[in-house]
Amino acid sequence: MNKQKTLESALYKHFGYKTFRTGQKKIIQDIIKGNDVLGVLPTGTGKSLCYQLPAKLLQGATIVVSPLISLMIDQVKQLKASQFKQVIALNSFMDPIERKNVYLQLHTYKLIYVSPELLQQNDLIVQLKKIQVSLFVIDEAHCISQWGHEFRPDYLKLGEIIQTLHNPTILALSATANHDVQNDIVTFIGRPKMIKHIYPMDRTNITFSIKEITNDREKVEVLEKLFNRYHFPALIYFSSRQSTETISSILKSKLPNQRIAFYHGGMEQVDRIAIQQQFMNNQLDIICCTSAFGMGINKKNIRLVVHFHFPPQIESYIQEIGRAGRDGKSSVAILLYSKKDDFLPTKLIKKELPATEHLHYVFRKLQQLYREGEQIPKTIEQLENIFQLGEIQWRFLRYQLEKHAIIEGNKIYFNEDNWKVSFKLIQDFIDERISIKERKLHEMIDWINEKNCLRKSLYKSFQDSINEPIYECCSNCGFSFIDWKPENTESDKSFGTWQEKLQTLLLIGDSND
Amino acid sequence: MLLEGILLKCCYNFQNERTPSAVYHLLNGKKSIQTVQDSHIYDLKSFYGIYKQISKRMIDEKLNLLVKHHLLTKEFIPTADGVKWLLKNDDLLLFEGFNGIKYHTIAPVFSDRLLLLIQTLTNSKMQHLSFIPIIDTPPVLYWMKNYYRKIRSYETAYLKGIYEELKQLLGDFSEQDANLFVDRLSGYRTYGKTSHQLSESYQINLSDVPLVWIRMIHHILSVVYSNCMNYPALHSIISDIKNKILITHSAQQTFNLLHKNYSAEEIAHIRNLKLNTIYDHMVEIALFDQSFPTTMYVSKEQQDEIICTIKRMKTSALKQIKENVNEKISYFQIRLVLATVYNSKQHR
């Protein structure tokens, strides 16, 4: 009893919240006791607090492995803003001198975010071994499983690293892990006593809607109609960076009363933060974005999530619509579907992995480098140049090449027989990955074409039963926008002369305005 | 349009004696004596280092576009239409607002500090300390931390000061520019607009936004510096920094030794540098220091000969000048004359 009280007061002291949200407390209690935990919590329920609070309370450091560098940096910024200062994000984009300095100061941090690639580097491991690691967090743990939607081979090496770091307590977290993936995670980590905390991910205040449409022009017309009726925070998801820009500019001209911006991973970091913060501060109504938007964003009153293009798997869809209605009020997720869209993700899937001809090319180049007595270049630009591969493709291939003892670090080891066999194995592996991804894609398309209840179908592989929706269920169960009347938000328009704007900005809080 | 105008102007002044790379180095503010000297010789000082984010590719793209629109020839010389365009748009381009050679180092520091200061003070005044800083480069954050400690006891008064001073200064700009300036600022629960958003709101090219901003910053700096008693709030943001005139640290050291009456050869020996490097420094110093004793290194007669040749050949290209003067005259002497005597005479 007393201990529980301490946990709550610690929560208030360090993060300013009075109560825990579903699941957080139980997970944290287990961690503090030293139990290994698998936590599957739906997006937007405060997964990161499950390790941020223990990081404050435990002796020594907490390491968080997280696959997305931009997300890592955002999180660190937010933590620092909320007065959690002993936190650092280590990634391969850091300036080498800065990184060296940070390595020497590692013991001063309570929370260390690190990318899986960087954890492969020996100089970091050496430094980490010198400090006390009390908690090792694997964020987005579904990346371990090849049945997960974002398989990251780098994650497979985490097992060794955990051992090297003297077996700290482990917390594996995911927002989207179905039964297969959960089992994979537990098997991989090899701690059979791991405690599972699995929470249902169905969202009872979100209504689902699918609208079939023939082309993009009609999609824009639907958006126009919707946003002429409603005025509230909304997200529109696209499959490409380019389309976020073009459609947002079309919408801006058609909807002068809505404040619209686009957001994608190709933007400068300053601009990305600015758009996020403007949206948080109600300076923007609609964001046209790619899947890069939303992670780590905690805006409570998003009323509508539109999918202009559908994502390549159910997991991403659940994650993206999960950003709606975190305040528990009635919210809608609508997907605009045109049969032509089916091709888009197929193309993207193929682009993520090197094709057979390309694999041949890489092997030839490797052989050439070997003959010339060269090593594998170190920078991503050089790699792109030599092998004609993008960063994601190279990361994938490097792991395969290392696994088959073709390369080690930057050295190339030539053995004709081994290379022949390995080529075939890698090729098979690629084919297998593609077929898994295509199966996931078909699951998504099947769901879109579902004739029965969309809600039941969406969550069926994640949980055995679903809760009754609070508001309307879905378009297959009779939902129509005519009956949907959420409260509209007023936008505080800051028009006026620049003198007035300057005054409002700088003399804020003065009594005379 | 502003960037296009600047490129046209650069091409016009360079008159095919410099490549597009020279334009890039100029706008980018490359710390090489060649670039600084170019900016003097071709009267492009005001553009030095005004666009540090620009890429070579962007310049090439814009130049090719100007060629396509027949404002530049294929050799990157302004056509008659190009010259006309420059004259016609003179009022809009406001080149006179730039003073790159003077403010290229201080302007970005001032701009970053001002943006972060306003965001910090307005948030702190509302007791809201968990905001994400819009500028997060370590030196600026470090400055902010220390500066905040000094001023927080009178933050309300200080904010009022910034308000009064900015209100006064922004009055010098067009309504549009003043609006753009204010929209870029972040404060309490307000995040400044991104370059892209500003370009859309004010219907200007995305590539012009940083230029419009830096042009305003240069103007503000010139008023604040020449009148620091009237702008105490803004002046104190940068009162800890000397507005460095000599561009490289190494040149500064040579400068100090010259002041102790060491010769170029002696300095080369002391500093263990090549004599030509010291000559580079001296040209660099001569560009900024109007009291530089050029006649100590180039006689009056030699100076006249060089100047006559420049005028006769209508060129500032070193090689051509060298081939047409007495062979005893060195490259160093020509460069020195180009940097000082010729330059100031031309302007008078």
Residue boundaries of the structural domains of chain A: 2-198, 206-340+449-503, 353-441
Q: Residue B348: its pLDDT value, please?
A: 36
Task: Return the pLDDT at B243.
Answer: 64
Residues 6+ apart with CB under 8 A from A332: A206, A207, A208, A209, A303, A304, A305, A324, A479, A481, A484
Contact B125/A at CB under 8 A: yes
Structural class in CATH, domain A2-198? alpha beta
Residue B117 has pLDDT above 80, yes or no: yes
A83, amino acid identity: Q
Average pLDDT (B32-53) is 90
The DSSP bridge partners found for residue A172 are A38, A138
Measured between CA atoms, the residue of chain A closest to residue B126 is: A509
Q: Using an 8 Å Cβ cutoff, are A473 and A479 in contact?
A: yes
Please count the residue pairs, one from chain A and one from chain B, whose beta carbons lie less than 8 angstroms apart. 78
- Rounded mean pLDDT, B89-116: 93
Mean pLDDT score of chain A: 89
pLDDT of A358 strictly over 90: no
CB-nearest partner of A507 from B134, B160, B190: B160
Contact check, Cβ <8 Å, A498/B182: yes
A71 pLDDT more than 90: no
Q: State the residue for tokens 């679903």.
A: A466
- Most confident of the following: A43-57, A456-470, B175-189: B175-189
Q: With 90 as the cut, is the pLDDT of residue A269 above it?
A: no
Residue A154: pLDDT above 70? yes
The two domains A2-198 and A206-340+449-503 share their CATH topology (first three levels equal): yes
In this structure, chain B runs to a length of 348
HEC sequence for A387-423: HCCCHHHHHHHHHHHHHCCCEECCEECCCHHHHHHHH
How far A260 CA lies from chain B's nearest CA (Å)?
Answer: 10
Lowest-confidence region among A16-20, A88-92, A343-347, A355-359: A343-347
DSSP string, A217-284: HHHHHHHHHHHHH--S-EEEE-SSHHHHHHHHHHHHHH-TTS-EEEE-TTS-HHHHHHHHHHHHTTS-
More confident residue, A169 or A349: A169
Q: Flag whether residue B182 sits within 8 Å of chain A, measured between CB atoms.
A: yes
Residues of chain A with C-beta less than 8 angstroms from the C-beta of B159: 506-507
Asked whether residue B47 carries a pLDDT value surpassing 80, the answer given is: yes
The tokens for A43 are 């997006």
Task: Write the pLDDT tens digit of every residue in A287-338.
Answer: 999 988 876 677 889 999 999 999 999 988 998 999 999 899 999 999 999 9
pLDDT at residue B130 greater than cutoff 90: no
Upper half-sphere CA count for residue A222 (Cβ side, 13 Å):
21
Determine the Cα angle at A458 with ends A452 and A464, to 5°: 100
Interface test with A, best of B166, B175, B182, B220 (most A CBs within 10 A): B182
Question: Contact B238/B110 with Cβ under 8 angstroms?
Answer: yes
Share of chain B above pLDDT 90, in %: 59
* A402-458 confidence digits (pLDDT tens): 888 898 878 899 988 999 999 999 999 888 888 888 998 999 999 999 999 999 999
Read off the tokens for A372. 């010339």
Q: What CATH code is assigned to A206-340+449-503? A: 3.40.50.300
Closest chain A residue to B176 measured between Cα atoms?
A498
Q: How far is the C-alpha of B248 from the C-alpha of A82, rounded, in Å?
A: 40
ipTM score above 0.90: no
Cβ-defined contact of A261 to B134 (cutoff 8 Å): no
